[in-house]
Amino acid sequence: MKPGEEREFTDLLLMLKETRGFDFTGYKRTTLTRRIGRRLEALKLRDYGEYRDYLELEPEEFGLLFDSLLINVTSFFRDAAAWQTLRETIVPALLSAKGPGRAIRVWSAGCATGEEAYSLAMVLADRLGLDAFRERVKIYATDLDEKALQVARTAVYTDRHLAEVPEATRRTYFEPVEGGFAFRRDLRRQLIFGRNDLTRDAPISRVDLLLARNTLMYFNTETQLNIVRKFHFALGNPGYLFLGKAEMLLNHGDKFEPVDLRMRLFRKVGPPVTGSRVPWPEEGTLVDPYAGDPALQSAALASGPVAQLVLDRSGNLAMVNSRAEALFNLTPSDIGRPFQDLEVSYRPAELRSVMDQVVADLRATELQDVTWRRPNTTETSSFDISVVPLVAAEGGELLGVGINFHDVTRYSRLRDELEQANRELEHAYEELQSLNEELETTNEELQSTNEELETTNEELQSTNEELETMNEELQSANDELQQINEVLNTRSAELDRANDFISSVVRSLGDAVIVVDGGLRVLVWSPGAEDLWGLRPEEAIGRQFTALDIGLPVEKVLPRLRSLIEAGLESGNGRMEGTVVDAVNRRGRTTRLGVSFSRLRAEDAPLHGVIMVMNLLPDE
């Protein structure tokens, strides 16, 4: 892509982000350029700048563009072998680790129209039983496309969508409705569908199984790394990750280990959960943690070495100690102000979304190594920030949120000094290793070869993801063509029935029927006329009636035709008295014909032509 095109393309993505809230900067450029190029080709536009102007003038184009970019290709039990492995290996291990009666949380990321989320619901319901499924399981399914989510919430699918679902499973979990089959309503309540942008929004936490099949392959390497970190945070321990066949975790061995690499099933790597909950004290032994001298408590908070903020349940600043006042330039007048109005809510770190997550989950969150240069100074400080919910001892009611800023600048500097010392030590080791130059050269060659192999492997993986992406695009296009073909087949059948009906009407009017327009050109030539005159419809239709070489005395019927045409709408009911003529049929025999005339009219037009109905009369 040329520099000018690159700039216009970046401006287009920025426009989509600012005006519609869709951030596609983390998606693979090759996929984006290919999909947007299709829209440019369809609209006959030359470049991205023209397309950006077109979007500003035609807002409805946004919907067509997003439908093209958000490829919703999915199906029930896609890749049957992988689902069988999930059913036989992962689900039993997961249920065994959870223990009886405990809740099971599942997240289907990039769920599209919901088929895979419902597939997982059927797998778990088969294993647990319907009653236990309703009591224990909660499936969260998210996607960026609201139209696809609406289809998923409706949960109505056609026979074509259910082709891969076994007949017995279909009878158990689906109910016939108008337009297809609906997933059972009593089980559908365990599935929650919502919009979530994997590149920007916070992940769903404490899930036991995460499905993200053929989702990562649309993002570039940096965005994939960020999303995998979120997946690792979202999963509990043990937690399992189910990816698509074109996706791998080549550089994430510290976060996930393969359970079945060929089927793209992975287990979260993390320390085992140890310890136990502190038991509730016996009745009558509860101690109020807020009892005591309020002045003493206030003095203790104010003199603490750690900068502390306390927010009430409404999100207003309730308390602040001396360290925080000096650090963030807060004053007593700031007490009672909404937290989001204060500079500290977004500097040194964005804390508003973190606070919302803490309030929602009632779980503490920590931000580590947050660097900040205070205003009007050149010194940079480092902080570990902890955001904790303040919960009442009785009832567990949320009282507020506490925010603690631990100054770890000294430790960061010590770490930097340690890294510098390590570098100096490594330099000394390099000087010592100069005695083994030949061995070092060999090791470097082997390392270079290994890096080349890893690079080749990553390139092959990237190529595989790109091919899978193109395959899904082709499948999406094929589905669209199939739907169009079904519509055309329906219309073709309707047209055939209409033609058959018109043919039967024409045959019923008389022995022969001829319809001409206002210029006396033949519009209809019935089979009876073909049998009478020996002239096929393709030889007669479109030609001047007076130019046809047939045995009909045209000079006798022509005045009536012209009179009826010239009369137009003013001729009453559009009929004219018939006449009897002697004609010669295709066998050369004289035939008496009774000819009647009627004007051909449409609802919205005055005159379209004249209908001549001819009946054979017996010879006198």
Using the predicted structure, report yes or no on whether residue 379 has a pLDDT greater than 90: no
pLDDT tens profile 186-228: 999 999 999 998 988 889 989 999 999 988 888 888 888 899 9
**Confidence at residue 84, expressed as pLDDT on a 0 to 100 scale:** 94
C-alpha to C-alpha distance for 374 and 174, rounded to whole angstroms = 61
- Provide the pLDDT for residue 287: 38
pLDDT for 440: 65
Give the mean pLDDT of 140-168: 92
Give the CA dihedral 605, 609, 612, 613, nearest 10 degrees: -30
pTM of the model: 0.52
Where would I find the beta strands (DSSP E) of 244-340?
256-260, 265-268, 307-312, 317-320
SS3 content of the chain, % helix, strand, coil (to 5): 50, 25, 30
Q: Which amino acid is at 330?
A: L
pLDDT for 576 equals 67
Measure Cα distances from 55 to 4, 42, 181, 449, 543 in Å. 19, 14, 38, 49, 49
Q: Is 45 helix (H, G, I), strand (E, B) or coil?
A: coil
User: Would you state the pLDDT for residue 605?
Assistant: 57
Burial of 219 (0-12, 13-18, 19+ CB in 10 A): buried
- Residue 240 pairs in a beta bridge with 209, 267
- What's 572's DSSP letter? T
Q: What is the pLDDT of residues 477-531, one digit of tens each?
A: 788 888 888 889 889 888 888 888 877 887 777 888 988 888 889 888 888 888 8
Name the percent of the chain lying above pLDDT 90.
21
Reduced to 3 states, what is the DSSP secondary structure of residue 176?
strand
Q: Which whole-number Å values give the CA distances from 319 to 27, 208, 302, 307, in the listed order?
A: 43, 38, 9, 11
Least confident of 71-85, 124-138, 262-276, 494-508: 262-276
Distances (CA, A) of 311 to 319, 398, 527: 7, 11, 90
**For residue 479, which of 156, 80, 176, 71 has the smallest C-alpha distance?**
71
Q: Provide the pLDDT for residue 279.
A: 40
Distant-in-sequence contacts of 324-329, Cβ < 8 A, 24+ apart: 324/405, 327/374, 327/405, 329/375
The more confidently predicted of residues 395 and 570 is 395
Give me the pLDDT at residue 281, please: 35
Average pLDDT for the chain: 83
